[in-house]
Amino acid sequence: MPRHGVTPGPGHPRSGREQRSNRSCGAPSLGLLWMALALALLDSLVLWTPAGAHPLPAQGYFASFSRAVPQLWNNFRWWNLTCPVCKSLFTVIDFGLQKETNVARVGSLAIKLCKLLKIAPPSVCQSAVQLFEDDMVEVWRRSVLSPSEACGLLLGSTCGNWDIFSSWNISLPDVPKPPPQPPNPPASGAPVSRVLFLTDLHWDRDYLEGTDPDCEDPLCCRRGSGLPPPSRPGAGYWGEYSKCDLPLRTLESLLSGLGPAGPFDMVYWTGDIPAHNVWHQSRQDQLQALTTVTALVKKYLGPVPVYPAVGNHESTPVNGFPPPFIQGNQSSRWLYEAMAKAWEPWLPAEALHTLRCT
Ligand SMILES: *[C@@H]1O[C@H](CO)[C@@H](O)[C@H](O)[C@H]1NC(C)=O
Ligand SMILES: *[C@@H]1O[C@H](CO)[C@@H](O)[C@H](O)[C@H]1NC(C)=O
Ligand SMILES: *[C@@H]1O[C@H](CO)[C@@H](O)[C@H](O)[C@H]1NC(C)=O
């Protein structure tokens, strides 16, 4: 769960507890990246909307569109649009954003902003924006930039419905709420279960002993981290108390050494299997982490039932879990299907069904 930012916080994670507190450092940096994307998007829109006299020449689709209807743009100032015009304008923007070249333009602006504002090292800016731009732009297109939302915000509720930040009502089933029951602890001597709790294994396939544990990237101790200066030791064989994840041998050693702590009746496994290299993860990388570590858990825990849950790092882009109305290649089907397959021996049919219901 913790630390999904692309820039390191001031404190490096040293333990599970600290990683958790580190969340407050990681989250804003990912937020900054999103802000860069949002700024880039807004900036691109300003470029495309001919409202002001913008010095930069418009290009591509929007250029031809604005050349075709220059009068329209002169006659309607941005802040005095009628509702139908506002909606047409945003329809055009949404349409334009379906084009890959325009998404790429938003992306290249975001990369420039990310580098300029030093949100992350240049190579991280580049990979992160490329990884996130499609989903970000799609979410903007479907929410704040949709004609009804945008014109509702700009022109008021007679024109559209701006409600992405407002509260909503949920209908509850027509069953009265049962009266609260005070907790009833089991009597002493009642049977007990022994539960193994696994979480946040974060396997780094590229972990490399001897590399720099304090490199400039958000994740270190890995191929590409470089060597530490002679005054500092490199990454350890088993891991490092720094901004590093773990090599597979450490996870294997942990699982193979569980014997004396058992036997366990069941295992709760609350996810976050892949590493924190969130700026550069493919679907294939995430699936490899899922299957590799699941196989390891099966190997060492054998017939003990394992109840796995989905962590925020399982997907890529990180935290990207499109709701069920997103269908096709942008849905989470690639992930949920693979999980259902990998976890089939542990989960009842009903759970597998809800997992697959993307
Ligand atoms: C806005 O449009 C209306 C109607 O076309 C016009 O009367 C008004 O002067 C315009 N306001 C501004 C600020 O341009
Ligand atoms: C939610 O329900 C309350 C009470 O019926 C109502 O006053 C309010 O306007 C509703 N809000 C929305 C967003 O529908
Ligand atoms: C589906 O999306 C992924 C990730 O964006 C991409 O790598 C892949 O090429 C896409 N596949 C198809 C068939 O479009």
Question: Hey, whose CA ends up nearest to atom 2 of ligand 3?
Answer: 329
Whether the Cβ atoms of residue 81 and residue 155 lie closer than 8 Å to each other: yes
Distance 80 CA to ligand 1 centre (A): 6
Distance 75 CA to ligand 1 centre (A): 10
Residue 168 near ligand 2, beta carbon < 6 Å:
yes
Residue 169 near ligand 2, beta carbon < 6 Å:
yes
| pLDDT tens profile 239-262 | 999 999 999 999 999 999 999 998
Which pLDDT band, with edges at 50, 70 and 90, does 162 fall under?
Answer: confident
Distance 284 CA to ligand 3 centre (A): 11
Question: Hey, whose CA ends up nearest to atom 6 of ligand 3?
Answer: 329
Q: Which of 45-49, 151-155, 192-196 has the lowest mean pLDDT?
A: 45-49
pLDDT at 345 over 60: yes
pLDDT of 42 reads 57
Distance 248 CA to ligand 3 centre (A): 28
Q: What is the mean pLDDT of the chain?
A: 82
Q: Does the model's pTM come out above 0.85?
A: no
- What are 217's two structure tokens? 């990237």
In percent, how much of the chain has pLDDT > 70? 77
Domain ranges of the chain: 30-155, 195-204+246-356
Which pLDDT band, with edges at 50, 70 and 90, does 72 fall under?
Answer: very low
- Kindly list the strands in the beta sheet with 266-269, ordered across the sheet, starting from the edge strand earlier in the chain: 195-198, 266-269, 306-308
Could you tell me which CATH class the domain 195-204+246-356 is placed in? Answer: alpha beta
| pLDDT tens profile 259-292 | 999 899 999 999 999 999 999 999 999 999 999 9
